[in-house]
Structure 1
């Protein structure tokens, strides 16, 4: 049986596809215009074009002069974020980038940059998920504990490194362990700065679990531990995984705490079949900038940017189930 009008679901899907196509078309045109100005070495000329385009789209959106004003003002911030990224990508030198990609030292750096934050993220989840569950369900003194968990978010990163040395150095709680310039120190520093992301994401995931489901499991004879493992944890799994990836991403980008605690470390590198010295990616890029200049450090930064983009897409996929947005 045919109908003369689309269902609400079909209409919404059609509207979504239409908006997506329009957004893709606008983005493609803007990219081509930007590339043209870069080719003639006049990227500054793209700024008025972008602002005029935003103003026109804002006015045409049906919001009139208000839409034009908000779109124009908002585009100023977008340009401040996007232009450095666009020029950074456009100014890369293919030959230098190829040399960087094939450099064994870069391979070691990337291995360490993936491995150490991964260990830190796993540790943050192992001890952070139980804490997140308690925070989600509430207990006396919860606000103090929550504030302590969030403290690394506001502490300067170099200060975080100093705290690690005071807490776990020779006069710390484990005087028999060495953390300065060691892999252990790097992982502790990364765990310190990444833990809030793992705990808070897991806490949000547990808070989204309907407590009536837990009550139903308990009423059918399940213990608290069984309820946690069979009900709460599986339902919060996606949020916990997102928190783990966020903690890993935070570790990948860390500079200050690692530079203080473990500027250079010895770590086991499987292709070499033994221990090799290496540095975390942000520290490596800083060293390259000081020793070899902007272009050399930029090629390494480009590789790290690609890695960061992959992490971002993974977080989007875990958080929303698809790369385009919430389902």
Structure 2
């Protein structure tokens, strides 16, 4: 997620006048406290502890930084966060997140919070045109790429395999990351790629026709973003998804299909196999919606305005931070 939540948004922001970006996965050389240059440090998913992290935060404060936590998962999933009094939120000036449900989980610990939805940096080239006979002559390719999702796909592997086994020569499945899912598939036409870099992941996704996005309705999953649907839509894939997270995006206008039962899953796949032009039309509509509504350049101005407002209010925000974590004084 470093590409989507950090690298790409900051590159887009750096296109604005008078903004420069430095990034590092390790220690940074800090600007001195005497510098008058406005400076923010955006810290992705910091795991801070009361025993080991206070001095690092004090140093950033002494050097005049506004510190922002970039967070994109349900904090309740990691007990260490609560055990350290939510320092990764309370000990920073502000927090930015990807979804409103996640914002509602974090806001009690830091009210200075912004929601920047995940977005697409650039639309890939349009898919080559194919006639219905061409689509009927080749297998349809289904994409599944996720980590730690076995609990999400296990209830659906039976009906999925029923569709694949009924017509094995007309389906191929591209799997990224999840070896257990790959092994559970009941057809020979399957390909597995271990965890890979983001460009490879997107290239493999773009080679497919359908993105399958099962997601169980759990508190952890409800904090997730709709990024996978946006990525698939950008490539013109037809999206078949669980309602958790994705139904709201479909309601907002993204073309896609929700399944809540085994029959709905089977019906969607068999109908697309019978009418691949309808599948392709759905994907093309989704691609157009992403281009009009969920591109990174759409939010550059809002990001810049919020970051500049944090700097302008830094004294007030620092006072509030020290009230939340008095150990950082001095």
TM range (shorter): under 0.3
Q: Which of these two proteins has the greater Rg computed from alpha carbons?
A: 1
| Bigger proportion of residues as strand | 2
